[in-house]
């Protein structure tokens, strides 16, 4: 009854989108009519070989990254979101449900609108029995991220978009079916992730879904955590990891696969297999591994943790041909604001934590080491350099699970955009590729 009352008071997300979609479709048409033939820039041979860095060739509505300032979600920086989005507690962290409203509609929600998203996600939650059975049957040695992608794929037969397409849906209505899939996937992820967590590290018993809690607190609860500070951490975590414009691997993979009209389950699973790579989302697992190894080696060698010993350890890593995880970025050229807000969380809640002290020491030393090393274009920490220490503090110690948390969050950004891809009628992606021989033919062969 409580849920129904809250819904009646506020506009539902789908009703709001029904108003916004035609406006945005008209806007896209106007932009193309006025500016369609203008150039966004040139592409060099280095960029073709170099991971398409900085080539502006994709439209991504939900967020935009500035190399110096960091990410803005629909125009709002992270500190602004912390101030303006609805929260569960006074002076607490933003509710990810409010962020989802913002990402989808472009407007900050009222408390009632955020609550309507919370309620809608609760109503759509629940894993199919076949998914639970499949996860249970997997060996505990299967990496949690592999389980996560498999779990998402296993639910694809419930795709309302795929069914509507098979039934001959009109293109003009794609967005309605995509909305259904997007909300269903986001709603089911906390239980999927919690089931993987409880199966892999415990006895498989998952605490029951609690619809009286917000999305992040219920997620924490289903993993087996009941600590108000951990709930706040999850709210912050799910909010800040959600989106990082369109070119990163998980976002681009979701968008690319979706362009073939694969629905939200197939597209998001593709994004998650990309997030599972160590240069992308798996870096949060790698960071914790690097810090714990540092602790182990220092203990073995009888070293104390200080700037000199950390500097030496960082050089050992670099000299052995490995990267320092959590540092560097393809686009950012400053400390990631997602790192800074996690640091502020640590300063507020766990200033004396031993691992936090190490992370702070690393922050004071590694940028100088990487600058001296002279290779990386950005010596500053990214989002992954901090999250593990916060999770460890509250007892989430299994660091090969960390990327799954990233994945739950990332769904909000990449699936909001997938919704807009269909609403705006984005076509199948098909950039032009070249061979080395074709480049030599065009510009001249050179002696190797
Ligand atoms: N440690 C050591 N070397 C690094 C480095 C780091 N943290 N970051 C970059 N470099 C090296 C690159 O490996 C590259 O070396 P080569 O020329 O030998 O190939 C050189 O510096 C130039 O790289 P770049 O242009 O500065 O960075 P890229 O855009 O190629 O790569 C990234 C970006 C994030 C993959 C890279 O900085 C990296 O590997 N960082 C460590 C892993 C990490 O933290 N990833 C998480 C990123 C955030 C996320 O997606 O979740």
Cα Dmax for the chain: 76
The SS3 assignment for 327 reads strand
Indicate if 210 belongs to the active site: no
**Atom 13 of ligand 1, nearest CA residue:** 323
pLDDT of 1 over the 90 cut: no
pLDDT of residue 10: 53
| Centre of ligand 1 from the C-alpha of residue 58, in Å | 23
| Centre of ligand 1 from the C-alpha of residue 329, in Å | 6
Q: What tens digit of pLDDT does each residue of 61-87 get? A: 999 999 999 999 999 999 999 999 999
Residue-wise DSSP of 42-104: ---HHHHHTTTTT-------SEEEETTTEEEETTEEHHHHHHHS-BSSTT-PBPHHHHHHHHH
The conformational region for residue 177 under phi > 0 = left, psi -120 to 50 = alpha, else beta, is alpha
Q: Across residues 243-247, what is the average pLDDT?
A: 98
Kindly name the residue from 122, 280, 386, 399 that is annotated as catalytic: 280
Indicate if 252 belongs to the active site: no
Neighbours of 88 (CB within 10 A): 20
For residue 47, count CB atoms less than 10 angstroms from its CB and return exposed for 0-12, middle for 13-18, buried for 19 or more: middle
| Centre of ligand 1 from the C-alpha of residue 185, in Å | 31
What value does the mean pLDDT of the chain take? Answer: 96
| Centre of ligand 1 from the C-alpha of residue 304, in Å | 28
Kindly name the residue from 181, 231, 384, 421 that is annotated as catalytic: 384
Single pTM value for the model: 0.95
Q: What tens digit of pLDDT does each residue of 331-383 get? A: 999 999 999 999 999 999 999 999 999 999 999 999 999 999 999 999 999 99
User: What angle, rounded to 10 degrees, do the helices at 283-301 and 402-423 form?
Assistant: 160
User: What angle, rounded to 10 degrees, do the helices at 402-423 and 13-35 form?
Assistant: 60
Instruction: Measure the CA–CA gap between 211 and 277, rounded to whole angstroms.
Output: 33
Task: List strands edge to edge, sheet with 76-77.
Answer: 63-66, 70-73, 76-77
CA dihedral 159, 165, 166, 167 (to 10 degrees): 110
| Centre of ligand 1 from the C-alpha of residue 328, in Å | 5
Indicate if 384 belongs to the active site: yes
Q: What tens digit of pLDDT does each residue of 385-429 get? A: 999 999 999 999 999 999 999 999 999 999 999 999 999 999 999
Instruction: Measure the CA–CA gap between 249 and 278, rounded to whole angstroms.
Output: 11
Instruction: Measure the CA–CA gap between 348 and 330, rounded to whole angstroms.
Output: 30
**Atom 36 of ligand 1, nearest CA residue:** 328
Instruction: Measure the CA–CA gap between 326 and 294, rounded to whole angstroms.
Output: 14
pLDDT of residue 11: 79
Q: How far apart are the first and last CA of the chain?
A: 74
C-beta of residue 13 within 8 angstroms of C-beta of residue 116: yes
**Atom 24 of ligand 1, nearest CA residue:** 376
Instruction: Measure the CA–CA gap between 26 and 395, rounded to whole angstroms.
Output: 50
Contacts of 324 (CB under 8 A, 6+ apart): 290, 314, 317, 318, 366, 369, 370
The SS3 assignment for 381 reads strand
Among residues 405, 284, 305, the alpha carbon closest in space to that of 365 is found at 305
**Atom 46 of ligand 1, nearest CA residue:** 280
Q: What tens digit of pLDDT does each residue of 216-235 get? A: 999 999 999 999 999 999 99
Q: Which residues have any ligand 1 atom within 6 Å of their CB?
A: 248, 279-281, 283, 318, 323-330, 375-378, 382-384
Instruction: Measure the CA–CA gap between 190 and 172, rounded to whole angstroms.
Output: 31
Among residues 180, 187, 183, 189, the alpha carbon closest in space to that of 162 is found at 180
E-strand ranges in 192-279 read none
Q: What tens digit of pLDDT does each residue of 190-218 get? A: 999 999 999 999 999 999 999 999 999 99
Q: What tens digit of pLDDT does each residue of 427-446 get? A: 999 999 999 999 999 999 99
Q: Which of 319, 328, 331 to mutate to test the pocket of ligand 1 (most atoms within 8 A of CB)?
A: 328
For residue 7, count CB atoms less than 10 angstroms from its CB and return exposed for 0-12, middle for 13-18, buried for 19 or more: middle
Query: For residue 109, what is the DSSP state?
Result: P
| Centre of ligand 1 from the C-alpha of residue 285, in Å | 16
Among residues 40, 44, 63, the alpha carbon closest in space to that of 53 is found at 44
**Atom 37 of ligand 1, nearest CA residue:** 328
Kindly name the residue from 221, 241, 255, 329 that is annotated as catalytic: 329
pLDDT of residue 2: 37
**Atom 15 of ligand 1, nearest CA residue:** 375
Contacts of 35 (CB under 8 A, 6+ apart): none
């Amino acid at each position: 009854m409580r849920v129904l009352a809250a819904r009646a008071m506020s506009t539902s997300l789908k009703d709001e989108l029904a108003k916004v979609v035609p406006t945005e479709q008209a806007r896209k048409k106007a932009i193309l009519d006025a500016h369609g033939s203008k150039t966004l820039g040139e592409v060099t041979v280095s960029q073709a070989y170099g991971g398409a860095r900085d080539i502006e060739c994709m439209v991504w509505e939900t967020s935009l990254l500035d190399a110096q300032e960091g990410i803005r979600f629909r125009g709002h920086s992270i500190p602004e979101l912390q101030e303006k989005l609805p929260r569960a507690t006074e002076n607490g962290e933003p509710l990810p449900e409010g962020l989802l409203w913002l990402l989808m509609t472009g407007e900050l929600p009222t408390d009632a609108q955020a609550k309507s998203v919370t309620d809608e996600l609760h109503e759509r939650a629940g894993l199919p029995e076949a998914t639970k059975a499949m996860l249970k049957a997997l060996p505990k040695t299967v990496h949690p991220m592999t389980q996560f992608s498999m779990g998402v794929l296993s639910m694809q037969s419930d795709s309302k978009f795929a069914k509507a397409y098979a039934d001959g849906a009109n293109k003009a209505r794609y967005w309605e079916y995509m909305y259904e899939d997007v909300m269903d996937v986001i709603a089911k992820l906390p239980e999927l992730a919690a089931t993987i967590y409880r199966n892999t590290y415990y006895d498989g018993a998952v605490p029951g879904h609690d619809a009286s809690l917000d999305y992040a607190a219920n997620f924490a609860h289903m993993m087996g955590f009941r600590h108000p500070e951990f709930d706040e951490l999850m709210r912050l975590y799910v909010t800040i990891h959600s989106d990082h414009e369109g070119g990163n691997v998980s976002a681009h993979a979701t968008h690319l696969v979706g362009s073939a009209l694969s629905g939200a389950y197939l597209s998001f699973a593709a994004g998650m297999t990309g997030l599972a790579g160590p240069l992308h989302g798996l870096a949060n697992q790698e960071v914790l591994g690097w810090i714990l190894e540092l602790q182990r080696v220092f203990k073995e060698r009888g070293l104390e943790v200080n700037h000199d010993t950390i500097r030496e350890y960082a050089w050992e890593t670099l000299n052995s041909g490995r990267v320092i995880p959590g540092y560097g970025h393809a686009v950012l050229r400053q400390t990631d604001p997602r790192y800074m807000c996690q640091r502020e969380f640590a300063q507020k809640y766990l200033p004396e934590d031993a691992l936090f002290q190490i992370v702070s020491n690393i922050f004071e030393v590694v940028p100088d080491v990487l600058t001296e090393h002279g290779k990386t274009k950005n010596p500053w920490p990214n989002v992954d350099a901090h999250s593990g220490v916060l999770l460890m503090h509250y007892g989430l110690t299994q660091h090969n699970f960390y990327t799954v948390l990233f994945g739950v969050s990332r769904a909000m950004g990449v699936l909001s955009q997938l919704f807009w891809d269909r609403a705006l009628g984005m076509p199948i992606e098909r950039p032009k590729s070249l061979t080395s021989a074709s480049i030599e033919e065009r510009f001249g062969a050179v002696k190797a």
